[in-house]
Amino acid sequence: MTLSDRFSDLSPESAFEVLSAAGAREKLGRSIVHFEIGQPDIQPPAHVIEATVRALRDGKTGYAPAAGLPELREAVAQYMKRRQVPATAEQAIIAPGPKAALFAAMASVIRPGDEVLAPSVGFPAYTQITRFLDGRTTYYDLDASRHFAVRVEELERHVTPKTRVLMLNAPQNPTGGIIGRDELPAIAEFAARHDLTVITDEIYGDLQFDGDFASIAALPGMAERTIVVDGLSKNFAMTGWRLGFALVPSGQGAAFERFVTHNFSCTSTFVQVGALAALTGPFDEVAAARARYAARAQHVAGVLDALPGVSCHTPGGAFYAFPDLRELLAGTGITSRELARRALEEFDVAVLPGTAFGPGGEGFIRIAYLQPDEVLDRGLRQLAACFAAVGAGAKAGAGAGV
Ligand code: PLP
């Protein structure tokens, strides 16, 4: 069989690659600290598990309506209203995971040849899906000197008459950066001026540490040009449940429902019943998780920032730190990919190279701080040893006149 170009052009995702390389080393008896995968180290809220088990026992195991259970679609609309985003149930589309919602959102607007403005660094699926749809990614750099902010001047530099979509993600993977409420109007004005559709990936929306998360879809005139992508994977620690959703512009629900029908038929019915329990609260376990991640963010950034040649801003949300190792690596010839390889093979700690998230990631690594405290600290010590070895190698090289 000959694969289509679309299929054979897909690249793997680093997080899953490194996870499998780490697993292979564990089989050899090594004890690996996992900083590679964005998987919360906690269980979903207890009442969500209860509701799901009950749904299974009550026989909620058949097909559901393609776009989702009406009561869950209504709950998504209400959940969006908590973020001040105007929403009705007709606009809420349920999908088997945030990525499935993301794919539907991107497929709904990207035509062959369209350009998609995507953050570098950013979630790798944006580029992969764009290519799959015969579109073209144009990267905009995040401002590493300003906590990885989105700068409108940078967006202006890359927009062309072919640009159709602006991808936003905050709190951000991989940097932990956020987009402040006061920064959104200028970005919205840019999108409107260039007549762009905004796809805003808000799957870490409940994990912003300071201040309430603000969605660009809440700004005047933006709901009709914005698709919100969200889901339960991160906010509710429900990665394996595969429950995502999109909030699409008013009047577009039926078109998405047709896409869903021919793509995945529907999302698991009993998982949707559980999702209803998640989205209608209580939210105290989400708040507790957010507080725990916020404390870890301070700790991890503090430890990393104190290491020679390393600087690390304190993440404003999500659960990732993105230390800048450019000073450490300068003159060593070592790339972030090579550093990540050495961290795993020589120091038993799995991290992702910044370049897994776009060309702007050279000199950075991503650390998902989703481990119990003692494991987290062991991993940080092992990383510090790795950095010291790399730094010592550079000095030795310099002394030898290399
Ligand atoms: N968007 C962002 C920014 C992510 O970090 C992820 C997962 O890591 C997703 C979307 C997709 O989530 P899932 O893999 O649960 O579908």
What residues contact residue 392 under an 8 Å CB cut-off, 6+ apart?
A: none
Distance between Cα 397 and ligand 1 center (Å) = 41
Does residue 289 form part of some domain? yes
Which of 279, 295, 312 corresponds to the end of one domain? 279
Pocket flag, ligand 1, residue 173 (CB < 6 Å): yes
What per-residue confidence (pLDDT) applies to 183? 96
Q: Indicate whether 266 and 300 sit together in one domain.
A: no
Is residue 224 within 8 Å of 248, Cβ to Cβ?
Answer: no
What residues contact residue 56 under an 8 Å CB cut-off, 6+ apart?
A: 270
Distance between Cα 366 and ligand 1 center (Å) = 15
Q: Tell me how crowded residue 309 is: count the other CB atoms within 10 A of its CB.
A: 17
The DSSP element (H or E) to which 72 belongs, if any, is helix 70-82
User: Shortest CA distance to 208 belongs to which of 279, 141, 297, 284?
Assistant: 297
Q: Which residue's CA is minimally distant from atom 14 of ligand 1? A: 99
Percentage above 90 pLDDT, the chain: 92
Q: Indicate whether 269 and 306 sit together in one domain.
A: no
Pocket flag, ligand 1, residue 169 (CB < 6 Å): yes
What per-residue confidence (pLDDT) applies to 397? 59
pLDDT band at 347 (very low <50, low <70, confident <90, very high): very high
Does residue 169 form part of some domain? yes
Pocket flag, ligand 1, residue 233 (CB < 6 Å): yes
Q: What is the dihedral of CA 86, 87, 88, 90, to 10 degrees?
A: 140
Mutate to test the pocket of ligand 1, among 172, 234, 239, 241 (most ligand atoms within 8 A of CB): 234
Instruction: Tell me the C-alpha distance between 118 and 397, whole Å.
Output: 38
Number of domains in the chain: 2
Paired residues of 140 in beta bridges: 119
- What is the residue type of 359? P
**Phi and psi torsions of 309, nearest 5°:** 80, 5
Q: Indicate whether 310 and 221 sit together in one domain.
A: no
Q: Indicate whether 239 and 385 sit together in one domain.
A: no
Pocket flag, ligand 1, residue 97 (CB < 6 Å): yes
SS3 394: helix
Distance between Cα 253 and ligand 1 center (Å) = 22
What residues contact residue 220 under an 8 Å CB cut-off, 6+ apart?
A: none
Residue with the two structure tokens 């390389």: 21
Which of 224, 248, 279 corresponds to the end of one domain? 279
Q: Domain holding 253: CATH number? A: 3.40.640.10
Pocket flag, ligand 1, residue 123 (CB < 6 Å): yes
Q: Indicate whether 34 and 11 sit together in one domain.
A: yes
Instruction: Tell me the C-alpha distance between 400 and 12, whole Å.
Output: 39
Instruction: Tell me the C-alpha distance between 235 and 289, whole Å.
Output: 9
Instruction: Tell me the C-alpha distance between 19 and 13, whole Å.
Output: 10
pLDDT digits (tens, 9 = 90+) for 171-214: 999 999 999 999 999 999 999 999 999 999 999 999 999 888 99
Distance between Cα 298 and ligand 1 center (Å) = 23
Nearest atom (ligand 1) to Cα of 101: 16
Pocket flag, ligand 1, residue 285 (CB < 6 Å): no
pTM: 0.95
Pocket flag, ligand 1, residue 38 (CB < 6 Å): yes
The phi-psi region of residue 140 (left if phi > 0; otherwise alpha if psi is between -120 and 50; otherwise beta) is beta
Distance between Cα 237 and ligand 1 center (Å) = 12
Nearest atom (ligand 1) to Cα of 122: 3
Q: Domain holding 302: CATH number? A: 3.90.1150.10
Please tell me the least confidently modeled range out of 3-17, 128-142, 144-158.
Answer: 3-17
Percentage above 70 pLDDT, the chain: 98
pLDDT digits (tens, 9 = 90+) for 148-172: 999 999 999 999 999 999 999 999 9
Q: What is the mean pLDDT of residues 55-62?
A: 98
Is residue 364 within 8 Å of 121, Cβ to Cβ?
Answer: yes
Does residue 48 form part of some domain? no
What average pLDDT does the structure give for the chain? 95
User: Shortest CA distance to 213 belongs to which of 230, 227, 198, 196?
Assistant: 230
pLDDT band at 133 (very low <50, low <70, confident <90, very high): very high
pLDDT band at 17 (very low <50, low <70, confident <90, very high): confident
Nearest atom (ligand 1) to Cα of 204: 3
Is omega for the bond preceding 286 within 30 degrees of 0, making it cis? Answer: no
Does residue 269 form part of some domain? yes
SS3 20: helix
Q: What is the mean pLDDT of residues 303-326?
A: 97
Distance between Cα 256 and ligand 1 center (Å) = 20
Q: What is the mean pLDDT of residues 287-310?
A: 97
pLDDT band at 402 (very low <50, low <70, confident <90, very high): very low
* Token pair of 192 as six digits: 């409107």
Distance between Cα 330 and ligand 1 center (Å) = 32
Does residue 186 form part of some domain? yes
The DSSP element (H or E) to which 349 belongs, if any, is strand 349-350
Q: Indicate whether 110 and 158 sit together in one domain.
A: yes
Q: Indicate whether 220 and 120 sit together in one domain.
A: yes
Pocket flag, ligand 1, residue 99 (CB < 6 Å): yes
What per-residue confidence (pLDDT) applies to 395? 64
Q: What is the mean pLDDT of residues 282-294?
A: 96
Which of 249, 279, 309 corresponds to the end of one domain? 279
Q: What is the mean pLDDT of residues 303-324?
A: 97
Mutate to test the pocket of ligand 1, among 201, 239, 241, 319 (most ligand atoms within 8 A of CB): 201
Q: What is the mean pLDDT of residues 343-352?
A: 96
Mutate to test the pocket of ligand 1, among 17, 18, 36, 99 (most ligand atoms within 8 A of CB): 99
Quick check: 401 pLDDT over 60?
no
Which domain, by its residues, includes 215? Answer: 62-279
